[in-house]
Chains A and B, each alone.
Chain A
Amino acid sequence: AQSVAQPEDQVNVAEGNPLTVKCTYSVSGNPYLFWYVQYPNRGLQFLLKYITGDNLVKGSYGFEAEFNKSQTSFHLKKPSALVSDSALYFCAVRDMGSYIPTFGRGTSLIVHP
């Protein structure tokens, strides 16, 4: 079985400050992890993925995520937040051999000017 948790419904950060959006997961085998972003009235857009290799994954729009196997986490980070980063962020996990990813409930990121 696979599951993913996003413990924060909302994250508030000031523009220019670093941001972190948290994600923890549970899988029976090796995890395949994804982050997506959703802007208002749009579908989800892929940001980055972890399949194997380096624990720090770089993605679109300056985002990166750190895979931590011992803590079963895959937190999304950005060194300097922009107001335009304000959106809904989803973490997803997929076990090897599964067609179906499991999505978290989403975290609303609000970046204040």
Chain B
Amino acid sequence: NAGVTQTPKFQVLKTGQSMTLQCAQDMNHNSMYWYRQDPGMGLRLIYYSASEGTTDKGEVPNGYNVSRLNKREFSLRLESAAPSQTSVYFCASSEAPLLTTQGDFQPQHFGDGTRLSIL
């Protein structure tokens, strides 16, 4: 049961380098998300994709770009890495929420994270 797979698991970059974090899910979920986790700050949403073909900014999008390559894959790109982007990055996916009174929201499924250090 793969669920949500993130690659790489660890990465060290120098300031100014670029990098793409990969995420793939095998649950046929419509929605995908990128978060960063920093000590004492919980999870902060960077970008999300409600469905294939759409992407939207979250709480902290500056310095990042995303691509929803297909229904399975959602990548996060750092164009010019900065030390402030040192963090643990999590990808998640979920069923699309129903905008009706039935609304049985399904939980998000998370990958195990990418630990990124920028020197």
Where the two chains meet, the residues of A that have a C-beta atom closer than 8 Å to any C-beta of B are 9, 32, 34, 36, 41-46, 49, 51, 90, 94, 96-101, 103-106
| Chain B min CB distance to A39 (Å) | 10
How many A-B contacts if CB must be within 8 Å? Answer: 57
Shortest C-beta distance, B69 to chain A (Å), equals 19
Q: How far is the CB of A101 from chain B (nearest CB, A)?
A: 7
CB distance A100 to B58 under 8 Å? yes
Shortest distance from the beta carbon of B100 to any chain A beta carbon, whole Å: 9
Q: How many of chain B's residues have a CB under 8 angstroms from any CB in A?
A: 26
**B48 close to A43 (CB less than 8 A):** no
Neighbour of A46 across the interface among B42, B104, B107, B113, CB < 8 A: B107
Shortest distance between the CB of A59 and any CB in chain B (Å): 10
Task: Establish whether residues B110 and A51, one from each chain, have CB atoms under 8 Å apart when the complex forms.
Answer: no
Among residues of B, the one whose C-beta sits closest to the C-beta of A99 is B50
